[in-house]
Amino acid sequence: MKLKHLSTAMILATLPATGVFAAALDRSGQSMSAFFQPGNYFEAGLSVLDPTVEGQEAGSSSTTRKIGDMGDDYMFPSAALKLQLTDKISFGLLYDQPFGADAKYTGDNVFVANPNDGVLNQNTVNALATKSINQLITASGSAFGPALQAVTGVTGGDPTNPTQQEILGALQQVAQGGNTTVAGGLQQLQQTQAALNAAKGYLGSSTGSNSTQVEVDTQNLSLVFGYQPTKNFNFYAGPAIQTIKGNVSLRGEAYSVYNGYDAKIKETTGVGWLAGAAYQIPEIALKASLTYRSEIDHDVKAQESFSLLAFPALPAVLAGLGLDPNQLAAGLAQDKKTKITTPQSVNLDFQTGVMANTVAFANVRWVNWKDFSIQPYKFGVLSKQVGGLIGRPNGFNLVEYSDDQWSVNAGVGRKLNEQWAGNVSVGWDSGAGNPVTTLGPTEGYWNVGLGVQYSPTPATFIAGGVKYFWLGDAKAQTGAQAGSNEYVAKFEDNNAIAYGLKIGYRF
pLDDT tens-digit series, residues 154-190: 888 898 899 989 999 999 999 999 999 999 889 888 8
Euclidean distance between CA atoms 457 and 419, whole angstroms: 8
Which tens digit of pLDDT belongs to each residue from 314-325? Answer: 777 777 666 777
pTM for the full model? 0.87
Euclidean distance between CA atoms 286 and 349, whole angstroms: 11
Higher pLDDT, 333 or 378: 378
Euclidean distance between CA atoms 362 and 11, whole angstroms: 13
- Which residue from 166, 197, 200, 170 is spatially nearest to 182, judged by alpha carbons? 170
pLDDT over threshold 50, residue 7: no
Tell the burial category of 343 from Cβ atoms under 10 Å away from its Cβ (0-12, 13-18, 19+): buried
Q: Which CATH superfamily is domain 3-113+210-506 in?
A: Outer membrane protein transport protein (OMPP1/FadL/TodX) (2.40.160.60)
Tell the burial category of 467 from Cβ atoms under 10 Å away from its Cβ (0-12, 13-18, 19+): buried
CA distances from 502 to 86, 268, 452, 490 (A): 27, 29, 11, 36
> Quick one: DSSP state of residue 63?
-
pLDDT over threshold 50, residue 70: yes
The reported pLDDT for the residue numbered 21 is 66
The reported pLDDT for the residue numbered 205 is 63
Which tens digit of pLDDT belongs to each residue from 437-448? Answer: 999 999 999 999
- Bridge partners of 400, per DSSP, are 373
The reported pLDDT for the residue numbered 99 is 94
Q: Where are the beta strands (DSSP E) in 294-440?
A: 296-300, 302-306, 338-342, 345-355, 358-367, 373-374, 399-400, 405-415, 420-429, 436-437
Tell the burial category of 115 from Cβ atoms under 10 Å away from its Cβ (0-12, 13-18, 19+): exposed
- Which residue from 291, 298, 282, 345 is spatially nearest to 92, judged by alpha carbons? 291
Which tens digit of pLDDT belongs to each residue from 84-101? Answer: 999 999 999 999 999 999
Mean of pLDDT over the chain: 88
